């Protein structure tokens, strides 16, 4: 048997947890180094998987399969394809840099890294699972450590935000759970045997009414996590209250779990259901894009700006899903990766500033580029990525999504609205994004030097790890989009084939 | 298999109980700690024996059935009794009276549950029930001189007697309309379509009586007061084992004797389920006392177990078996922490748990994971068992019921997290020392925690056992 690569990626943080359990609380540096090494192992293995993935063959690779609960057809089976592999890489990059972003942590360090690694184990698990039971199991594993991480180490109304986030996510996952069980039992009647295998479940022809109902459950369940408007209320509060590494992981990766769930479970299993609900997603996502950006514009707290910009940017992902064609879906997956890296970069930088200045009030800053040139440079790169500057990865993603949505010729609301019109509205969102990003950059970093901030030290030492790694990733994939584009295409192709084979069905409106 | 061999578990339990009672009189005052150890070891030995007999099947006489389902429940009672004994050493030792009788009573009530789980005849069933209930009445009042404990005892005696009377009345009506007290014979009468109005009245009385023992809404009012007042280890035992025993007897009477009149009582069970899940979870939210919180949570757990009854299928029974076994470990884990905490701080108020994570990481971790398991959060065993329960009802087409139950279990996360918040986010009050956990309790805590994780991550062994027991019982 070959080396269980994906299991190793999953278990590296678990080994880290076990090791940290036995390190005394006062040896903080040892704990941090252990966490860094554990996540570094995951990162190296993820990069190896990314490089070794055979694009010509496509499909699921690095398969492992072990019978787990035979009575119910549950198998521990893992594998990655062109959609999940970028997500695994994203997770590995964000958690690795997140550990370094928390290097200055001094309060209850042991528990912090324990919960952080627990959280990331859940996230890795979701992306590599090929079995729906494990998919859901890992999905929920991520929630509770999040509560404790925000509740203990957070800032700004942390207890309120932590509870709000947890309840939103759990109620959402309750809907997803019902959907998953319904799907499983329906398939069992068709197939004549019990299985949770994602590939097998996807071969079942589900009844149209059933598809509409279950896709709706998934839309709520995974939509909360994306977050789809109007279920987004937990997310800005959560981002702001969370400690730096958790914000990074949260906005960078956890929100992608929702979009990934919608694609992998929603669209892949229930193509007709997806077609039926696509118009609703398309309209809501425009609200996400425009409304999120407008709210971001009036924020006074740096972290809230990033929080709402995430709501806005995830709207593009939803648009990509709603348009349901090769270009748009590839764009959606690309955007998930690019936005994850970009937003993790933002949160790392804001965390860095907050740790030193003890405030995030934009109005108080100004001319920080004099004191913190490296942070300013990183923030500028992130900001330019955010507004879709060519040469950075986000441009590729947004371009694909707009192109995909624009080429979809379907009318909504009896001809009042078209996807084309929605694409144009979404592009307008970019203009608003440019406005608020540039305003924030200008007010925070440029302008005359303020002496009040002279005591701020620029990022140095390990603090540079997140900035360098994340910026480099954005630029690398921005300059060579085919490094990821071809891979994603191999993942999206079977999805689109399934959509094309699906019966035609009108949208909800 | 010889009769004495089939009955060996019960025989040994009875001898252990009576032996301890006698030994308790011989041992001088102040040197009775050993009785607790003896009880624990004895129960562990009996559990090992029961495990080897898990496949045994036979009829001692028509009124006493040994089958895998019954033995599964007996194992469950034994595990609960072992954990109860371990957590009692310190607590009962400090009360300073009746140590010998205490362990004997725990074991005799276990015997009552065993009889309940194996009864194939209504009078035998009633006998087991009373053996269990009366032992619990004494145990609930064990904190002599404490008003709340006395209140708990009186409440349990009066309401317990009332519910037993109701149940007995139901049994007599059932006998009156079918002419037999044997479950097998009753099922034959029901099978041939002979459901009379008299029997319907009997069924209603039976449902009421059983719902009282399960602490299902609206027959739950006794539970919070009794749970709060009784000594904490007794509360723990009461909440897990007596509930499971009621389910065991319920399965025999309703699935076998009255199985063919399923359509008659199914809707009533749905109503009980909905009420228990909703009321139990919502009323738990404002609770300030740990034991009352766990009382309401255990009311809601009765509702989740009832989901398996609603399903009326092998899958449903298997889910009940799986859930009730893990409920033992999760709930006992939480109560053991409460007991240790009470021994150290003399308080059961949730706010006093502030900063427990700093005073004793082990206690806080066990409480955290036990509560999360009760809430059904993976990778803990409670997740798998709730998954089975929801699957069982969705399989029968009750999607709305599953959605309600899942949403309510998310509500439960809210109040469980309130406790977690106090333990992890709060700061310990100044001057409070680190809590020392006795070695025996440490081992018991570690075992329950390990069980919760093991069967959450790799549920197969217990799943196979539970589902094969269910399949042998119900086709």
- Cβ distance A350 to A365 under 8 Å? no
CB A357 within 8 A of CB A368: no
Residues on chain B touching A140 (C-beta within 8 angstroms): 377-378, 383
Closest chain B residue to A70, measured at CA: B460
Residue B173 to residue B202: CA distance in whole angstroms: 5
CB contact under 8 A, A159 and B409: no
Is B434 an interface residue toward A (CB < 8 Å)?
no
Angstrom distance (rounded) from CA A454 to CA A370: 9
Contact A181 B403 (CB under 8 A): no
CB contacts, 8 Å: A195 with chain B: none
**B37 Cβ under 8 Å from any chain A Cβ:** no
- Hey, is the C-beta of A170 within 8 angstroms of any chain B C-beta? yes
Q: Nearest CA to CA, how far is B380 from chain A (Å)? A: 9
Give the nearest partner residue to A182 out of B357, B378, B399, using CB atoms: B399
Cβ–Cβ gap B417/A141 under 8 Å: no
* Chain A residues with CB-CB distance to B402 below 8 A: 178, 181
| Cβ contacts of A147 on chain B, cutoff 8 Å | 417, 420
Q: For residues A180 and A138, is the Cβ–Cβ distance under 8 A? A: no
User: A68 CA to chain B: closest CA distance, Å?
Assistant: 7
Task: Give me the pLDDT at residue B457, please.
Answer: 87
Interface-testing mutation among A76, A181, A186, A224, with chain B (most B C-beta atoms within 10 A): A181
Partners of A68 on chain B (C-beta within 8 Å) are: 458, 460
Closest residue, chain B, to A121 (C-alpha): B379
Chain B positions in Cβ-Cβ contact with residue A175 (cut-off 8 Å) = 403
Q: Is the pLDDT of residue A1 over 60?
A: no
Contact flag B399-A185 (C-beta cutoff 8 Å): no
Q: Which residues of B touch A182 (CB under 8 A)?
A: 394, 399
Separation CA B367–CA B335 (nearest Å) = 8
Q: What residue in B sits closest to A71 (Cα-Cα)?
A: B464
Is B410 in Cβ contact with A171 (below 8 Å)? yes
Phi and psi at residue A388, to the nearest 5°: 80, 40
Write the pLDDT tens digit of every residue in A246-255: 888 888 888 8
Of A68, A151, A170, the CB nearest to B460: A68
Taking the C-alpha atoms of residue B229 and residue B456, their distance in angstroms, rounded to an integer, is: 33
pLDDT at A415: 65
DSSP string, A429-460: HHHHHHHHHHHHHHHHHSSS--GGGTTPPPP-
pLDDT surpasses 90 at A283: no
CA–CA min distance A116, chain B (Å)? 15
Task: Give me the residue from B378, B403, B460 closest to A178, CB to CB.
Answer: B403
Query: Which chain A residues are within 8 Å of B464, Cβ to Cβ?
Result: 71
Residue A232 pLDDT = 84
3-state secondary structure A296-311: HHCCCEHHHHHHHHHH
Could you list the pLDDT tens digit for every one of the 475 residues in chain B?
677 888 899 999 999 999 999 988 888 877 778 888 899 999 999 999 999 988 888 888 888 889 899 999 999 999 999 999 998 888 888 887 878 889 999 999 999 999 999 998 899 999 999 999 999 988 888 888 888 888 888 888 888 888 899 999 999 998 988 888 898 888 888 888 767 888 889 889 999 999 998 888 888 888 898 898 888 999 999 999 889 999 999 998 988 888 778 888 888 999 999 999 999 999 999 999 999 999 999 999 999 999 999 988 888 999 999 999 999 999 999 999 999 998 888 888 888 888 888 888 889 999 999 999 999 888 889 899 999 999 899 888 888 898 899 889 888 988 998 898 888 888 888 877 888 888 888 999 999 999 999 998 888 889 989 999 998 888 6
Task: Give the minimum alpha-carbon distance from B151 to chain A in angstroms, rounded to a whole number.
Answer: 37
Is there a contact between B407 and A151 if contact means CB atoms under 8 Å apart? no
**If we measure between CA atoms, which residue out of B130, B137, B120, B239 comes closest to residue B180?**
B120
Chain A partners of B390 at a C-beta cutoff of 8 Å? 177-178, 181
pLDDT in tens, A196-234: 888 888 888 888 888 888 999 999 989 888 888 888 888
Of A69, A72, A174, nearest to B407 by CB-CB distance is: A174
Q: How far apart are CA B283 and CA A17, in angstroms?
A: 37
Three-class SS state of A343: helix
Q: How far apart are CA A400 and CA A323, in angstroms?
A: 11
A175–chain B Cβ distance below 8 A for any pair:
yes
Contacts B413 to A, Cβ<8 Å: 166-167, 170
Report the mean per-residue pLDDT for chain A: 86
CA distance B136 to chain A (A): 37
Nearest CA in chain A to B417: A163
CB A405 within 8 Å of CB A412? no
Mutation site, B304, B356, B425, interface A, largest A CB count within 10 A: B425
Interchain proximity A68–B420, CB inside 8 Å: no
- Is residue A53 exposed (0-12), middle (13-18) or buried (19+ Cβ within 10 Å)? middle
pLDDT tens-digit readout, A160-184: 888 888 888 888 888 888 888 888 8
Q: What is the pLDDT of residue A467?
A: 87
pLDDT tens digits, one per residue of A65-79: 888 888 888 888 888
Q: What whole-number distance in Å separates Cα of residue B146 and Cα of residue B141?
A: 8
How far lies A371's CA from each of A50, A382, A461, B233, in Å? 38, 19, 16, 62
Nearest-neighbour CA in chain A from B452: distance (Å) = 14
What global pTM score does this model have? 0.88
More confident residue, A17 or B5: A17
| Helix, strand, coil distribution of chain A in percent, nearest 5 | 75, 5, 20
| Contact residues on chain A for B399, CB-CB shorter than 8 A | 178, 182
The tens digit of pLDDT for each residue in A234-244 reads: 888 888 888 88
Which residue from A99, A118, A94, A88 is spatially nearest to A34, judged by alpha carbons?
A99
**Residue A214 phi, psi dihedral angles, 5° rounding:** -70, -35
Nearest to A185 among B395, B406, B414 (CB): B395
- What percentage of chain A has pLDDT greater than the value 90? 8
Q: Does B378 touch chain A (CB under 8 A)?
A: yes
- Has the ipTM of the complex gone over 0.85? no
A171 chain-B contacts, CB cut-off 8 A? 407, 410
Q: Report residue A410 as tokens.
A: 């379907």
Contact A12, A41 (CB under 8 A): yes
Q: Answer whether B184's CB lies under 8 Å from B62's CB.
A: yes
The domain locations on chain B are 262-475
* For testing contact with chain A, the best of B281, B417, B454, B458 (most A CBs within 10 A): B417
Query: Residue A264 above 70 pLDDT?
Result: yes
Chain A contact present for B285, CB below 8 A: no
Whether residue B22 lies within 8 A of chain A, CB to CB, comes out as: no
């Amino acid at each position: 048997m070959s080396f269980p690569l994906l299991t190793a990626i999953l278990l590296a943080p678990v080994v880290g947890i076990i090791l940290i359990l036995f390190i005394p609380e006062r040896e903080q540096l040892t704990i941090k180094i252990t966490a860094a090494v554990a996540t570094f192992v995951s990162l190296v293995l993820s990069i190896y998987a990314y490089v070794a993935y055979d694009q010509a063959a496509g499909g699921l690779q690095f398969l492992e399969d072990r019978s787990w609960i035979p009575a119910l057809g549950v198998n521990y089976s893992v594998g990655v394809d062109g959609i999940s592999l970028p997500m695994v890489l994203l997770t590995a990059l964000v958690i690795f840099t997140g550990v370094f972003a928390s290097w200055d942590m001094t309060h209850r360090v042991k528990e912090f890294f324990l919960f952080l690694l627990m959280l990331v184990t859940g996230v890795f698990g979701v992306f590599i699972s090929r079995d729906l039971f494990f998919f859901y199991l890992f999905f929920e594993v991520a929630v509770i450590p999040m509560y404790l991480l925000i509740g203990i180490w957070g800032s700004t109304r942390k207890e309120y935000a932590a509870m709000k986030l947890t309840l939103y996510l759990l109620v959402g996952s309750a809907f997803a759970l019902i959907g998953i069980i319904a799907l499983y039992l329906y398939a069992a009647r068709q197939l004549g045997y019990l299985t949770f295998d994602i590939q097998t479940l996807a071969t079942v022809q589900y009844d149209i009414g059933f598809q509409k109902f279950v896709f709706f459950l998934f839309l709520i369940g995974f939509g909360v996590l994306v977050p789809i408007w109007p279920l987004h209320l937990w997310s800005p509060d959560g981002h702001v209250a969370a400690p730096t590494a958790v914000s990074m992981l949260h906005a960078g990766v956890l929100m992608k779990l929702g979009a990934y769930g919608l694609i992998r479970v929603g669209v892949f299993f229930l193509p007709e259901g997806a077609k039926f609900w696509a118009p609703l997603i398309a309209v809501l996502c425009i609200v996400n894009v425009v409304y999120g950006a407008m709210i971001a514009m009036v924020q006074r707290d740096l972290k809230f700006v990033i929080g709402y910009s995430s709501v806005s940017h995830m709207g593009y992902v939803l648009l990509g899903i709603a348009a349901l064609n090769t270009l748009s879906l590839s764009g959606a997956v690309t955007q998930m990766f690019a936005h994850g890296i970009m937003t993790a970069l933002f949160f790392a930088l804001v965390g860095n500033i907050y740790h030193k200045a003890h405030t995030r009030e934009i109005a108080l800053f100004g001319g920080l580029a004099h004191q913190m040139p490296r942070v300013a440079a990183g923030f500028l790169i992130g900001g330019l990525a955010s507004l879709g500057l060519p040469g950075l990865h986000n441009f590729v993603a947004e371009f694909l999504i707009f192109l995909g949505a624009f080429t979809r010729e379907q009318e909504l609301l009896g001809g009042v609205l078209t996807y084309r019109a929605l694409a144009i509205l979404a592009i307008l969102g970019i203009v608003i994004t440019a406005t608020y990003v540039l305003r924030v950059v200008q007010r925070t970093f440029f302008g005359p030097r303020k002496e009040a901030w002279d005591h701020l030290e620029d990022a140095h030492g390990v603090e540079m790890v997140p900035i360098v790694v994340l910026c480099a990733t954005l630029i690398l994939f921005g300059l060579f989009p085919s490094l990821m584009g071809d891979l994603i295409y191999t993942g999206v192709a079977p999805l689109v084939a399934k959509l094309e084979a699906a019966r035609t069905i009108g949208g909800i409106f | 298999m010889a009769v004495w061999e089939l009955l060996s578990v019960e025989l040994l339990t009875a001898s252990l109980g009576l032996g301890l009672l006698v030994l308790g009189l011989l041992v001088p005052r102040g040197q009775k700690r050993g009785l607790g150890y003896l009880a624990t070891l004895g129960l562990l030995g009996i559990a090992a024996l029961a495990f080897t007999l898990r496949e045994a099947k036979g009829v001692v006489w028509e009124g006493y059935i040994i089958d895998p389902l019954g033995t599964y429940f007996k194992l469950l009672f034994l595990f609960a009794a072992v954990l109860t004994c371990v957590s009692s050493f310190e607590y009962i030792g400090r009360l300073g009276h009746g140590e010998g009788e205490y362990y004997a009573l725990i074991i005799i009530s276990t015997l009552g549950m065993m009889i309940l789980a194996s009864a194939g005849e209504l009078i035998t069933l009633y006998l087991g029930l009373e053996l269990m209930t009366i032992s619990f009445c004494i145990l609930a009042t064990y904190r002599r001189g404490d008003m709340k404990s006395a209140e708990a005892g009186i409440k349990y005696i009066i309401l317990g007697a009332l519910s037993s009377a109701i149940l007995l009345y139901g049994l007599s009506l059932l006998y009156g309309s079918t002419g037999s007290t044997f479950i097998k014979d009753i099922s034959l009468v029901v099978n041939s379509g002979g459901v009379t109005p008299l029997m319907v009245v009997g069924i209603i009385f039976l449902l009421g009586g059983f719902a009282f023992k399960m602490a299902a809404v609206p027959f739950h009012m006794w539970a919070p007061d009794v749970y709060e007042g009784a000594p904490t280890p007794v509360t723990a035992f009461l909440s897990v084992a007596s509930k499971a025993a009621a389910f065991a007897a319920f399965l025999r009477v309703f699935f076998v004797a009255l199985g063919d009149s399923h359509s008659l009582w199914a809707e009533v069970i749905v109503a009980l389920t909905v009420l228990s899940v909703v009321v139990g979870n919502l009323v738990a939210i404002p609770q300030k006392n740990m034991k009352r919180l766990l009382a309401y949570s255990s009311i809601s757990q009765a509702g989740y177990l009832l989901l398996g009854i609603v399903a009326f299928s092998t899958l449903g029974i298997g889910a009940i078996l799986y859930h009730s076994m893990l409920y033992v470990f999760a709930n006992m884990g939480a109560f053991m922490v409460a007991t240790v905490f009470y021994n150290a701080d003399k308080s059961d108020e949730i706010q006093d748990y502030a900063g427990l994570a700093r005073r004793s990481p082990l206690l806080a971790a066990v409480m955290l994971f036990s509560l999360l398991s009760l809430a059904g959060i993976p990778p803990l065993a409670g997740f798998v068992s709730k998954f089975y329960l929801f699957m069982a009802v969705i399989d029968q087409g009750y999607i709305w019921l599953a959605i309600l139950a899942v949403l309510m279990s998310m509500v439960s996360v809210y109040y469980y997290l309130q406790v977690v918040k106090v333990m992890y986010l709060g700061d310990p009050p100044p001057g409070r020392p680190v809590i020392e956990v006795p070695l025996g309790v440490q081992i018991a805590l570690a075992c329950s925690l390990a069980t919760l994780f093991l069967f959450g991550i790799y549920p197969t062994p217990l799943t196979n056992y539970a589902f094969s027991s269910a399949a042998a019982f119900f086709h």
